[in-house]
Amino acid sequence: MQILNHIDFKHVRGDLFGGVTAAVIALPMALTFGVASGAGAEAGLYGAVLVGLFAALFGGTPTLISEPTGPMTVVFTAVITLMVAADPVDGLAMAFTTVMLAGLFQVLFGVLRLGSYVTMMPYTVISGFMSGIGLILIIIQLPPLLGYPPPPGGVLGALGALPELVPAYRPHELLLGGLSLGLLLLTPRRVRRLVPPQLLALVIGTLVAVWFIGAEHYRAIGPIPGGLPSIHLPTFTEEKVQVIVINALVLAMLGAIDALLTSVIADSLTRTHHNSDKELIGQGLGNAISGLCGGLPGAGATMGTVVNIQAGARTALSGLTRALILAVIVFGVGGLVETIPKAVLAGIAIKVGLDIVDWAFIRRAHRVSLRGAAIMYGVIAMTVFVDLITAVGIGLFVANILTIRRLVALQSEGVRLLGLPDEDDELDDLDTSPEERRILRDPSNGVAMLSLSGPLIFGAAKAVTRQQQALAAVRSLVIDMTEVPHLGVTTSLAIEVTVREAVERGCRVYLAGLNEQTRKRLLSLRLERLVARENWLPTRYDALKRAVSERAGQLVRAD
């Protein structure tokens, strides 16, 4: 595997321009997420630089832009709140330890080649928890929009404080936040092509605050530490190890899903194909280093990636350029951002939350599937009011149960018993030859056929066992597996039970149309002890002919 991401100098102009444009967009977002998380604006900047740098160097998607994102910030904010409440002294350090461990988990996912499986989740669950995260971001930014710091208690704390904060809102800060949000929502498309609306909101909001409102009437970001970031060595206590590991897994999974979904978008725009496992390794290294340096966790950012590609970027040189520009801002001119109002950042964060909510699917989910809509709304509610782990866990469980139920119904349709008087009509639906239909329709033959089709995993087992009572009067049974590409363990055991009960009643059994996989599976059960190997026939016609001839021989001997 190639260690470094795809970097060349054939598209230097496009890569440099893409990197500059992505950096311009990244700056206000990094400041916004840093302040929103509670770790400080510098944590957002460090995360934007370090996650972006290492993901660009070692990732598997050349044009992907990685930085702190809304979903990752929401989860990390909850981690900080939990850790600081439990340990005011070392809580923040333990939160950064969680980021480091999340990065190591992502590296492990990549090494184990789990990249292709990470995003294999029902869309209703993904949509639900992403929309829930968007609502969380909106709710927890309402107090800062009104001019107050976020109250403790997360979503419930913010909702509980709103009745008191709304009447006591601070007009200057609400004006700045509203101005920021208005610019983001109403900036004409022609202007958006020239200037990123996030940067426009940041600059105009700050200028209005400094020139017309005055520093004493609004809360600003304040001083940002200059120079290199301080190292946060892994810190944990025995009581918090389990909490750190669980939250690290949540961050790792969320970041992996976020990054790989964005990689798919990048592929569609560039007509290329990313390396999912390599991307996870790059994301993991970026998050591990970011946590070590006190930075926010990050993932692939859709907005930055799309803008990067549209500006002409085609290789990872664009991501390296973006990281370098942000590093110069952090380490060189950090003093310029000290006067940025927090209310302006709250407006930007609320717009991010609005963008995360899956409005397109919410509007039509009930038309697509009522059950799917119920799962999505349930995941949204649990994400907002309980926690992400419970939401995803229960959402996946319910979605999988409904999928299994549907799968069982579909597989049951592939199990049909033919040759009995009540089943005569089904012969016309099956792709059988006239001679096969003649044999099965002749009651004097005493032959029935258990026709199986489709991949038969555990869902078909019950349908097979249900046929045993109807087989009580059958003298010869052909089990046709011509249309079975795969036979699961549970269904193979059900077939074994059916064969054994038929043999014990004196019924002759014939197996037909087995492929290599189904043959190996039945041989592993030693089914040849019940069905002689000469009765394992290549086609159902051969099996039916053998059954008729042996049945006729039995009748002659009986006479």
On whether the CB atoms of residues 361 and 372 are closer than 8 A, the answer is no
The first and second tokens of residue 93, run together, are 């350090």
Which residues, at least 6 apart from 490, have a Cβ–Cβ distance to it below 8 Å? 457, 458, 461
Instruction: Provide the pLDDT for residue 555.
Output: 47
Residues paired with 411 in a beta bridge: none
The tokens 């009745």 sit on which residue?
163
Which has more confidence, 58 or 413? 58
Q: 230 in a domain, yes or no?
A: no
Residues 61, 67, 72, 76, CA torsion sign = positive
Domain co-membership, 351 together with 422: no
Residue 553's pLDDT is 60
Query: What pLDDT is stored for residue 160 in this prediction?
Result: 92
418 phi and psi, to 5 degrees? Answer: -115, 150
Question: 293 and 157 in one domain?
Answer: yes
Pick the more confident residue, 278 or 229.
278
List CB contacts of 348: < 8 A, sequence separation 6 or more.
28, 29, 32, 180, 181, 184, 198, 201, 202
Query: Do residues 535 and 509 touch, judged by C-beta distance below 8 A?
Result: yes
The per-residue pLDDT for range 507-519, each reduced to its tens digit, is: 899 999 999 999 9
**Two tokens, residue 504:** 């014990």
DSSP per-residue codes, 36-103? HHTS-HHHHHHHHHHHHHHHHHH-S-TT--EE--HHHHHHHHHHHHHHHHH-TTTHHHHHHHHHHHHH
CA distance 173 to 406: 53
Residue 2 has pLDDT above 80, yes or no: no
- Does residue 380 sit in the same domain as residue 431? no
pLDDT, tens digit (0-9, with 9 covering 90-100), for 332-370? 766 677 888 999 999 999 998 898 899 989 999 888 888
Average pLDDT score over the chain: 87
Does residue 232 form part of some domain? no
Q: Are residues 498 and 361 located together in one domain of the fold?
A: no
Do 353 and 435 share a structural domain?
no
Dihedral angle, C-alpha 105, 108, 110, 116, nearest 10 ° = -70
Phi, psi (5° rounding) for residue 487? Answer: -120, 120
- Please indicate, yes or no, if residue 3 is contained in any of the structural domains: no
How many CB atoms neighbour CB 164 within 10 A?
Answer: 11
- The single residue listed with the structure tokens 């090494």 is 111
Task: State pLDDT tens for residues 124-168.
Answer: 888 888 899 899 999 999 999 999 988 887 888 899 999 999 999
Q: How many domains does the chain have?
A: 2
Please give the single-letter amino acid code of residue 434. P
Closest CA to 19 of 58, 73, 72, 62: 62
Higher local confidence (pLDDT), 101 or 196:
101
Percentage of the chain lying above the pLDDT 70 cut: 95
Which DSSP helix (H) or strand (E) runs through 25? helix 12-37
Q: In whole angstroms, give the CA distance from residue 335 to residue 339.
A: 8
Residues 195, 318 within the same domain? yes
Residues 284 and 424 in one domain: no
Q: Is the same domain home to 337 and 437? A: no
Is residue 472 one of the residues assigned to a domain? yes
- Which residues lie below 8 Å from residue 113, measured CB to CB, with a gap of 6+? 277
pLDDT in tens, 358-405: 998 999 988 888 888 998 999 999 988 887 777 877 887 888 788 777
Burial class (CB in 10 A: 0-12, 13-18, 19+), 414: middle
Contacting residues for 235 by C-beta, under 8 A, at least 6 apart: 90, 93, 94, 96, 97
- Neighbouring C-alpha atoms within 13 Å toward the C-beta of 397: 7
Contact 270, 127 (CB under 8 A): no
Q: Is residue 7 one of the residues assigned to a domain?
A: no
Give bridge partners of residue 426 from the DSSP assignment: none
* Cβ burial 370-406 (10 Å sphere, 16+ → b, else e): eebbebbbbbbebbbbebbbebbebbeebbeebeeee
**The domain boundary residue, chosen from 380, 402, 424:** 402
Contacts of 309 (CB under 8 A, 6+ apart): 18, 63, 266, 269, 270
Same domain, 385 and 324: yes
Q: Which of 358, 379, 402 is at the close of a domain?
A: 402
User: CB burial class (10 A; 0-12, 13-18, 19+) of residue 550?
Assistant: middle
Same domain, 418 and 391: no
Q: Are residues 473 and 545 in the same domain?
A: yes
- Parent domain of 496: 414-558
CATH of the domain at 488: 3.30.750.24
In degrees to the nearest 10, what's the CA dihedral of 489, 490, 491, 493?
80
pLDDT of residue 56: 93
The DSSP-derived string for 371-403 is: HHHHHHHHHHHHHHHT-HHHHHHHHHHHHHHHH
Residue 554 has pLDDT above 70, yes or no: no
Residues of the chain with pLDDT > 90, as a percent, come to 38
> Domain ends where: 379, 402, 425?
402
- Do 391 and 446 lie in one domain? The reply is no
Which pLDDT band holds residue 559 (cuts at 50, 70, 90)?
Answer: very low
Could you tell me the CA-to-CA distances from 351 to 168, 202, 395, 428 in Å, in that order? 23, 13, 26, 60
The whole-angstrom separation of Cα 53 and Cα 71 is 20
